[in-house]
Amino acid sequence: MGGCEMPESSDDFRTPYPKCYQTKAFTRDGSEITIRPITPEDAPLLVEFFNVLSKLTIFFRFLRGVKYLTPMWIKRFTHINYAQDVAMVATEETESHERILGVCRIMRQSEIIRGEIAVVVGDAWQRRGIGTILMERSISIARKLGIRSIWGIVSPENTKMLAMANKLGFSVQLDAEAGVYEMKMELSSGQA
């Protein structure tokens, strides 16, 4: 990301698209994918992606059943203030069009220096390293945006996510009262 200028902060979500965040990557099986910020124009691709997720994958992402993405959610997930938050997609080109394989978001909380991370990879593309690629890229950008720590909530049944969090250096602790794991990472310490 050398030479990438950080977008100016803006409350109206018209921050310039940070094209410098876009990169190519390779999955474990050698397939080339694109990692890039999500855009408002990705709304139909996001709906298409959501519609092929299994109920279990949806539950692991939202920690509850979600039948469809409402227009409000679609807007929230695709209209990003790039100077404040991170929302990256992994995509691949098919014969007819681009499709989303996974999404990672790090959204700032009110105290500005802390962000919540969430990642989801489509069932057909899991176990290919896409989640790890998305998280590593998103964490790197979050650090450059001044986010100092990130956290996320993981279902105890989501063993793949728990393993990935441990591999990436998150501290993972069970919240017995809530029945979920909380993963945390300090970004100022030079991890990731």
For residue 115, what is the domain's CATH number?
Answer: 3.40.630.30
Total domains in the chain come to 1
Residue 44 lies in a domain: yes
Residue 55 included in any domain: yes
Model confidence pLDDT, tens digit, residues 150-165: 999 999 999 999 999 9
Note whether residue 185 is domain-resident. Answer: no
Parent domain of 53: 19-149
In 3D, which of 42, 64, 46, 45 has the Cα closest to residue 55?
A: 64
Q: Is residue 121 part of a domain?
A: yes
Spatial separation of the C-alpha atoms in residues 154 and 180, rounded to whole Å: 6
Task: Please state the pTM of the whole predicted model.
Answer: 0.88
Least confident of 11-15, 25-29, 57-61, 133-137: 11-15
In a domain, 179, yes or no: no
172 φ, ψ to 5°?
-125, 125
List, in sequence order, every beta strand (DSSP E) within 55-113.
86-93, 98-108
| Neighbour count for residue 30 (Cβ, 10 Å) | 7
In a domain, 6, yes or no: no
Compute CA 188 distance to the chain's CA centroid, rounded to the nearest angstrom: 20
Indicate the SS3 state at residue 116.
Answer: strand
Whether 123 is in a domain gets the answer: yes
- Residue 162 placed within a domain: no
